[in-house]
C-alpha cells in the first residue's frame, strides 16, 4: 500500500503543478529534491511571484525510521518504527479576490520491533480560505467535495465537513481559518472499509482538487482590487499563519520528526500584517466574511 500510494502522489504532484503553471502563465515551479538523515526524503516544488500565484508549494515526501520520543508519547506506544508519505499543498494567490487553498493527502504505517505493521491509516482533506466571500465559490468548492465523498459513502461529506470546521478553528481568535471543506484522519480498516477502499476514497478526493479550485481562480483572478483590499488580505493571512504555527498537527508533526524546515514552512504567505485590535467597518464586505468565519455554515 505504501508503494502504491506514493506512486499515486508522485503522479498527482505532476498533474497539479502542470495545471497551476498553465493557469498562472508566467511563473513555474522550482523543484528541490531532499533527503532526511534518519530515512526518506521528498520532492518540494515552489512557485513564487507569478501573475496569479504570489507563493505556493506542492510537496511530496516519504519519511521512515524510529518513531521520535515526542511522537511515541503522542501515540501512547513504546519502541516503534514508522513510515509516512503524503502530498501537501498551499497556494497563496496575489489577488485578494482569489482564495488561498490548502490540501493534504497522507498515509501512515507503524511497525513493531519485528517489522510487522501494527497500525496503518489514511488522512487528508482540502479547504478554502477566501479574503472576500463569493458564496457561489463556496458552494462550488463544497459541491465538488461532496461529489467525491458521495461516490463512497453518503455520510462522509457531512461528517468530514463538520470535522474540517472543527479542525481549522483558530481557538485563540474564536473564528475559523476559512470556509472549510473536508478533513479526515485515522481512516483504518473496518468491517465495511478495508484499506483498499480507503485508498480509493482518498485518491478520488485528491483527483477532485483541481476541479474544486481552478474554476474559482479563473473566475476571480482578473477582478480589480484596491490597496485597502490588499491590506485586508495581508491581515487575514496573519490569522492563517497563527493557525499553522499554533494548532496545525501537520506542522507540529514535521517539526517533531526533524522534518525539512523549508518544506514545512512553505505554507506561510510572503506578505503578512498584524494590526493591533483591527476591526472591519460595520456592514462592509470584510465584516461579511468574518460573520461566516465566526459561525460556519452549510454550503450545499
The pLDDT value recorded for residue 261 is 85
229-248 average pLDDT score: 95
Instruction: For the chain, give the longest Cα–Cα distance.
Output: 63
Q: How confident is the model at residue 74 (pLDDT cuts 50, 70, 90)?
A: confident
For residue 299, being part of any structural domain is answered with no
257-276 average pLDDT score: 87
Q: How confident is the model at residue 68 (pLDDT cuts 50, 70, 90)?
A: confident
Element of type H or E holding 23: helix 2-24
Q: Would you say residue 131 has pLDDT above 90?
A: yes
The pLDDT value recorded for residue 284 is 97
For residue 252, being part of any structural domain is answered with yes
The three cell numbers locating residue 183: 478533513
Q: What is the distance, to the nearest Å, from the Cα of residue 91 to the centroid of all Cα atoms in its chain? A: 9
Per the model's pLDDT, the better-predicted residue between 79 and 101 turns out to be 101
The three cell numbers locating residue 292: 461566516
* CA-to-CA separations, 279 to 166, 196, 283, 289, 293, in angstroms, rounded: 24, 48, 12, 12, 14
Question: Which residue range forms the structural domain that includes residue 239?
Answer: 2-294
The pLDDT value recorded for residue 265 is 87
Q: Would you say residue 266 has pLDDT above 90?
A: no
Give CA angle at 89 (288, 185), nearest 5°. Answer: 85
Kindly report, residue by residue over 14-54, the tens digit of the pLDDT: 999 999 999 999 999 999 999 988 899 999 999 999 999 99
Domains in the chain, number = 1
Helix extents (H) in 168-294: 195-207, 209-220, 227-246, 249-256, 261-264, 285-294
- Catalytically active residues are 102
The pLDDT value recorded for residue 71 is 75
Kindly report, residue by residue over 172-192, the tens digit of the pLDDT: 999 999 999 999 999 999 999
Q: How confident is the model at residue 205 (pLDDT cuts 50, 70, 90)?
A: very high
Q: 84: closest CA among 116, 115, 113, 111?
A: 111
For residue 29, being part of any structural domain is answered with yes
* Cα gap 162→158, rounded to integer Å: 6
Q: How confident is the model at residue 73 (pLDDT cuts 50, 70, 90)?
A: confident
Q: How confident is the model at residue 122 (pLDDT cuts 50, 70, 90)?
A: very high
For residue 31, being part of any structural domain is answered with yes
Which residues, listed in sequence order, are joined to residue 47 by a DSSP beta bridge? Answer: 56
| Helix, strand, or coil (residue 266) | helix
CB 110 within 8 A of CB 75: yes
Q: Would you say residue 90 has pLDDT above 80?
A: yes
Share of the chain above pLDDT 90, in %: 85
For residue 200, being part of any structural domain is answered with yes
Q: How confident is the model at residue 161 (pLDDT cuts 50, 70, 90)?
A: very high
Least confident stretch, 37-51, 136-150, 226-240, 249-263: 249-263
Q: Would you say residue 114 has pLDDT above 90?
A: no
For residue 262, being part of any structural domain is answered with yes
For residue 129, the domain's CATH number is 3.40.1500.10
For residue 8, being part of any structural domain is answered with yes
For residue 52, being part of any structural domain is answered with yes
Amino acid at each position: 500500500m505504501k508503494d502504491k500510494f506514493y506512486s499515486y502522489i508522485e503522479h498527482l504532484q505532476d498533474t497539479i503543478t502542470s495545471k497551476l503553471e498553465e493557469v498562472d502563465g508566467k511563473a513555474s515551479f522550482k523543484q528541490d529534491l531532499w533527503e532526511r538523515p534518519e530515512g526518506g526524503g521528498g520532492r518540494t516544488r515552489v512557485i513564487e511571484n507569478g501573475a496569479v500565484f504570489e507563493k505556493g508549494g506542492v510537496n511530496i515526501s516519504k519519511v521512515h525510521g524510529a518513531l521520535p520520543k515526542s511522537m511515541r508519547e503522542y501515540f501512547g506506544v513504546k519502541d516503534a518504527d514508522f513510515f509516512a508519505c503524503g502530498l501537501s499543498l498551499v497556494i497563496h494567490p496575489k489577488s485578494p479576490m482569489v482564495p488561498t487553498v490548502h490540501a493534504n493527502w497522507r498515509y501512515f504505517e507503524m511497525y513493531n520491533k519485528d517489522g510487522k505493521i501494527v497500525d496503518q491509516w489514511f488522512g487528508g482533506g482540502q479547504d478554502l480560505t477566501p479574503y472576500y466571500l463569493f458564496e457561489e465559490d463556496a458552494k462550488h468548492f463544497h459541491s465538488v467535495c461532496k461529489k467525491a465523498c458521495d461516490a463512497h459513502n453518503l455520510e462522509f461529506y457531512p461528517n468530514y465537513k463538520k470535522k474540517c470546521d472543527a479542525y481549522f478553528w483558530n481557538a485563540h481568535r474564536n473564528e475559523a481559518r476559512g470556509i472549510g471543506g473536508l478533513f479526515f484522519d485515522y481512516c483504518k480498516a473496518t468491517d465495511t472499509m478495508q484499506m483498499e477502499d480507503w485508498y480509493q476514497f482518498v485518491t478520488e478526493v485528491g483527483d477532485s482538487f483541481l476541479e474544486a479550485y481552478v474554476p474559482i481562480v479563473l473566475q476571480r483572478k482578473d477582478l480589480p482590487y484596491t490597496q485597502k483590499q490588499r491590506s485586508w488580505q495581508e491581515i487575514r493571512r496573519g490569522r492563517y499563519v497563527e493557525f499553522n504555527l499554533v494548532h496545525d498537527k501537520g506542522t507540529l508533526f514535521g517539526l517533531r520528526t526533524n522534518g525539512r524546515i523549508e518544506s514545512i514552512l512553505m505554507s506561510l504567505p510572503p506578505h503578512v500584517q498584524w494590526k493591533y485590535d483591527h476591526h472591519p467597518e460595520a456592514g462592509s464586505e470584510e465584516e461579511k466574511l468574518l460573520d461566516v468565519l465566526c459561525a460556519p455554515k452549510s454550503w450545499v
